Amino acid sequence: MRVDDPGLSPASQNELQALAFTDPLTGLGNRHRLRDKLRALIAERAEDPAPFAIGIANLDGFKPINDLFGPSSGDQILCQVAHRLKACIPDGATVVRYDGDEFAFLFPLVFERRSAERTGIMLKEVLSAPYDLGDRNVRLSASFGFSIHPFAGEDFEDLIKSAETALYRSKRRGRGQITVYSTEIAEQMKRATQLEQALRNAIIANEVEVHFQPIVDLQNDTVVGFEALARWIDRDLGFVSPAVFVPLAEERGFIDALSETLLRKAAEAALSWPQELFLSFNLSSAQLMDPSTAFNILAIINRTGLDLRRLELEITETAMMTDPETAHKIVTELRSAGVRIALDDFGTGQSSLSRLRDFAFDKVKIDRAFVSRITSDSASEHIVKAIIAMCRGLELEVVAEGIEDFAEALRLKALGCGLGQGYFYGRPVDAEATLDYIARKYVDEGNREKATA
């Protein structure tokens, strides 16, 4: 039955129209209400156009909380968000529940970027206060995207699309970010989409390669293993840094396909190495949130025939903190199968000591930010020394990353650091060059042994 059905009384028509324009959970308007309000504002200002702003807010980390505490708790949070937003938006503005954990706004008196950013900051602070779930409190942040009429679009669809583009940019930059749409941002997002398509095609065509960087025993400079690192050279784009394409694959939801392809290639290459050399491989934050990760990794390694005891997986503290419970389960399953686990970039997170206590690691990798200053900054040297001593007490191996010269290597040896890697010992090279490197190293080591016999 239509809202404007002539068979309905005016009161019934009004009631149905109110229902059609209202979100049943929060009592706010819905996207139809926002579209109606925006079109009315455009018509009102037709003869004397003046800018106004559209905004979209997305709750950061809402899904994990909803999954952890249940849908009823999620609904409570959404209702509290709605209440706060309704109470704080300026007079004449409109707030609606747009979709799921997204809320949208119409600000008739917000005319330009700085004013939109100030409004976003105010709303962000309002939403950052704890949410009451009865027996517990939870905290959330929110990300925002804004578009300004007529610069970002002249109708509802274009303005919403521009605000969503700005919101997506905010989510890419991290939690609690605010972005106002601009042509520059649109171009950046367009380039990212083009890069995404090229990377997807490269994965299908098996064009993303694995290079290997040696990890050495610092006490005798012998090679003990290699870290696998992704490398991609596109026919049109040229060399694309893994610092660009790996996060992009994670954001766009196909990191699993990329990582599984690279792990298979790395494991197959490692079969040609001497049995005593291990393979180190990095896991992404997305993989540490997927309960099937351990099963998938073990299946890949078993298919290649590589001994699981030769595999070492590196995870960062930041990646673990996204979903600690799932990450802990994944780590436990992998270690039970014989895989070793290394904590990467140690010292750069916010709670490294507690993570060492809560998780069972085999190795700690000291971030290059400390290693690169070990010979020039006493504080960095003391930090490295303390990490080495702590790991010795915990019976953990230590790897120093980013060793670039002889002085750094010498100082790390003096401090008792067990393992190291960096350009001083070898740059990442492809599988064939890695075999050549291994052959040279074994010849050199054999010659040294003969000379000292």
**CA–CA distance, 36 with 4 (Å, rounded to integer):** 16
Q: Which residues of the chain have pLDDT under 70?
A: 1-18, 347-355, 357, 443-453
pLDDT of residue 17: 62
Give the residue extent of every domain in the chain. Answer: 10-181, 193-452
Supply 362's token pair.
């085999």
DSSP-derived 3-state class of residue 30: coil
Which of 431, 408, 438 shows the shortest CA–CA distance to 421?
408
Q: Do domains 10-181 and 193-452 have the same CATH topology?
A: no
**CA–CA distance, 319 with 350 (Å, rounded to integer):** 12
Q: How many residues does the chain have?
A: 453
Number of Cβ atoms within 10 Å of the Cβ of 273:
20
pLDDT of residue 451: 46
DSSP-derived 3-state class of residue 437: helix
pLDDT of residue 432: 96
CATH pick for 193-452 out of 3.40.30.10, 3.40.50.300, 3.40.47.10, 3.20.20.450: 3.20.20.450
Supply 356's token pair.
């060492």
**CA–CA distance, 316 with 344 (Å, rounded to integer):** 5
The beta-strand segments (E) located in 385-435 are 397-400, 419-420
**CA–CA distance, 61 with 420 (Å, rounded to integer):** 36
**CA–CA distance, 1 with 438 (Å, rounded to integer):** 76
Supply 425's token pair.
């010992």
Instruction: Answer whether 311's CB lies under 8 Å from 339's CB.
Output: yes
pLDDT of residue 89: 93
**CA–CA distance, 112 with 396 (Å, rounded to integer):** 55
Fold exhibited by the domain 10-181 = Alpha-Beta Plaits (3.30.70)
pLDDT of residue 61: 83
pLDDT of residue 13: 58
DSSP-derived 3-state class of residue 156: helix
**CA–CA distance, 152 with 161 (Å, rounded to integer):** 9
